[in-house]
Structure formats: C-alpha cells, structure tokens
Amino acid sequence: MAGILAWFWNERFWLPHNVTWADLKSTDEATFPQAEDLYLVFPLAFCIFMVRFIFERFIAKPCAIALKIQANGPQIAKPNAILEKVFTSITKHPDEKRLEGLSKQLDWDVRSIQRWFRQRRNQEKPSILTRFCESMWKCSFFLYVFTYGVWILKETPWFWDTRHCWYNYPYQPLTTELHYYYILELSFYWSLVISQFTDIKRKDFGVMFLHHVVSIFLLSISYVTNMVRIGTLVLCLHDIADPLLEAAKMANYIKSQKLCDFMFLTFAVVFIFTRLGAYPVWILNSTLFESWEIIGPYPSWWILNLLLFIIQGMNCYWSYFIAKIACKALSKGKVSKDERSDIESSSDEEDSESPEKSPHTATTTNGTNGYLLTGPCSMDD
C-alpha cells in the first residue's frame, strides 16, 4: 500500500518543477495542506448526515406542517397479484400488446390497467413533505456555505485579482478558515455521493453521480497540491445559484406559484450567468492562461484543467434544461415540469396516451412539479 501511495503521489507529476512534498510540510511559521487532512472528511461526512437527519425531522418537518404540507404520498394501487408480478418481474411500462393481454386476462379496461401501473410506479416515490424537507435542508446548507465563503474570501487579494492564485505558488500558507471551508465542502460532496442513492431519483442520476465523483477528485487533488486559492473561487462561484433553486422548489411545494416562478427565473439567470459566463471568463481563463504565464504547465496541470472542463461540460448540459424550462415559464406564465422528474400525472389525459410513447411523463396535477438540479455544480460541483 505504501508503494502504491508513493507511486500515485509522485511529486514529479503533481507538483511544479523543482518542488517536492518536503517543501510543503507545515512548520511553525507556515501551515500547508497535508494529504492526511483528507481523512477528516469521512467522520465529518457522517456528522453532516446526522445533522441533516436532525434538521429535517425537528426543523424542516414542523415548518412544512405549519405551511399546511401534508405527509400523504401518492395514491396506493389496489393489490393485484397478476399486475404486481408483471410490474416486479417483467416491465413497469407495459406496451399496448401487453396491456391488451392483461385487459382480457383480468377483464379490466386498458385505461384502468394504465392507471394501476402509474399508481404503482408513483407509490414508491417520496411524499411532498419529504421533498420539502430535503429542499429545506439543501437550501439552508448551501446558503450557509456560500455566505461563509464570501465572508472569508472578500478579504483575500485573489478574490479581486485571480493572478494572486499563482503568485508564489505552491508556497501559499493555509489559514484555518480556508481549511475549514475546503474540508466542509469536500465532506458534503462525499455525503451527496451516498445520499444520492436514497434521495429522490431523477433522470440525470448518472450525470449527477459523475459530477459528484469529479468534484471529490478535483477537490481532493487541488487541496493536496495547495491549489486552495483557485479552488475556493470555484466553490464560491458554484454555490451562488443552489439556494435559489431549493427555495424555488419549496415555493412550489407550498403552491405559491408566483414566488416559485420568481425564484426559478432568478435562479436560471444566476446559474447561466455564473456557469456559462463568469466560470470560463474568471476561472478557466486564470487556470489556463494566468497560471501558464506565472508558473508554467506541468503534468498534473493538464489533468486539473481537464477536470475543470468536464465540470463546464456538465454546466452546459444543465443550462440547456434550465433555459428550456425558463423559456416555457416566460411563454406560459408559469414554471412547467422538470424534465428529469419521475413523478407522473394522474390526469385522465395521460391515461389516454400509450405508455411506451410517454414512459417518463413528468407533469403533476397537485403542485408537486420539480426542478432541474438537486445539488451544487462546483469544483465541487
């Protein structure tokens, strides 16, 4: 194991020319990031899980109840052994031929069978109360880390001039505030990797999982190689839009359509401006050109920039869906469905559609339509 770690952390690959890991050992005069610090993220990630559990149960849930949000989930499908066997063993979205066969076997009309499969798919989905609690937790956490990030960064020279991210690199001391900020964000992304399997499932599950993995790798590597300055800028920039999204979701769950529309459109503008405008102009310009000019490229420099471009690719992917929903909201006068949601309509209009033509219909009739993102998109996300 020691040999593998020594091979992986080859200083000729990760550090600029003529710099060794020994040069970055902490002393009484200056503290630098250490690889051992990353072990802190695992107990801290567990603590975040516990804080979330306590917050959702004792803070978010009472707030939801006070706002008249019911704990009732989707309508439960009537027990039927034949349909249940088809649902669990064959398909959750039967085609027309199978629907007709089941109709003859059960002496049910096709629409009733469609309705049963829709209810059966939906009954495993979380209630609006659960969704509200999840969104309130994320909104509170994102707002906290963004506020804290701005508070500590506004006094730093690299917040105003990104060239300071590279002056005297990598011999840049690590303050207690920056250490806490970085480790907290990294721990949160570790918690997201695990909670993504238990939280509300959406169509972009794979993209979000890739995003979290890339974020964790990028955060870990940038910390160990002391690229903390540029890393904090990426984190802060990507944290701006997330509280707005979760606030829009909460407004939607309490059926405040005007507030929901306002928050979502604000989120859309902020997201697209920061991810497609500020990120390439402010961050990628610095990591590509300013760092090249001041410290020059080295092997891991290419890897880190590649990961930052992968993040930008995902930003473009999400921006497309956000812009699509925002345009519909402006044209129709209200925010429409989330293209990623799996909660289905209970309207008769959907019943008349063939399941194989619309297996992922996402509109709702009870004000539970969702939104596009569940989490941050920074170097993080």
pLDDT tens readout for residues 159-211: 999 999 999 999 999 999 999 999 999 999 999 887 876 666 666 677 778 88
Q: 256 or 347, which is more confident?
A: 256
| The pLDDT value given to residue 194 | 79
- Residue 340, C-beta contacts closer than 8 angstroms, at least 6 positions apart: 202, 203, 204, 321, 362, 370, 372
Q: Which of 33, 332, 322 is nearest to 173 (CA)?
A: 33
pLDDT reading at 214 higher than 80:
yes
Taking residue 78's Cβ as centre, other Cβ atoms within 10 Å add up to 11
| The pLDDT value given to residue 374 | 33
Q: 147 or 214, which is more confident?
A: 147
| Lookup: tokens for 330 | 């402006």
Q: Which of 71, 329, 371 is nearest to 202 (CA)?
A: 371
d(CA 186, CA 376): 12
| Lookup: tokens for 105 | 């076997």
Q: 20 or 370, which is more confident?
A: 20
The pLDDT mean for the chain works out to 85
d(CA 192, CA 218): 15
Report yes or no: 168 and 272 within 8 Å, Cβ to Cβ. no
> pLDDT (tens digit, 9 = 90+) per residue, 24-39?
999 999 999 999 999 9
Dihedral, CA of residue 340, residue 343, residue 346 and residue 347, to nearest 10? -10
Phi-psi region for residue 333, left (φ > 0), alpha (ψ -120 to 50) or beta?
left
If you search the block for the tokens 């989120």, which residue do you land on? 267
% of the chain with per-residue pLDDT over 90: 62
> pLDDT (tens digit, 9 = 90+) per residue, 42-68?
999 999 989 999 999 999 999 999 999
% of the chain with per-residue pLDDT over 70: 85
**DSSP letter assigned to residue 356:** T
| The pLDDT value given to residue 235 | 95
Taking residue 205's Cβ as centre, other Cβ atoms within 10 Å add up to 16
Q: How confident is the model at residue 121 (pLDDT cuts 50, 70, 90)?
A: confident
Q: Which of 171, 263, 234 is nearest to 380 (CA)?
A: 234
- Pick among 1.20.1600.10, 1.10.10.60, 3.40.640.10, 3.40.50.720: CATH of 81-124: 1.10.10.60
Amino acid at 177: E
d(CA 163, CA 167): 7
Question: What residues does CATH 1.10.10.60 cover in the chain?
Answer: 81-124
| The pLDDT value given to residue 361 | 34
Q: How confident is the model at residue 378 (pLDDT cuts 50, 70, 90)?
A: very low
Amino acid at 126: P
Mean pLDDT of 263-277: 96
Q: Which ranges in 333-377 belong to alpha helices (H)? A: 348-351
Mean pLDDT of 237-250: 96
d(CA 102, CA 113): 8
Taking residue 60's Cβ as centre, other Cβ atoms within 10 Å add up to 23
Least reliable range by pLDDT among 164-168, 177-181, 327-331, 347-351: 347-351
Report yes or no: 338 and 325 within 8 Å, Cβ to Cβ. yes
| The pLDDT value given to residue 201 | 65
| The pLDDT value given to residue 369 | 35
pTM confidence score: 0.80
Q: What is the DSSP string of 202-263?
A: -TTHHHHHHHHHHHHHHHHHHHHTT-HHHHHHHHHHHHSSHHHHHHHHHHHHTT-HHHHHHH
Q: Which of 273, 357, 349 is nearest to 315 (CA)?
A: 273
Q: Which of 258, 128, 239 is nearest to 182 (CA)?
A: 239
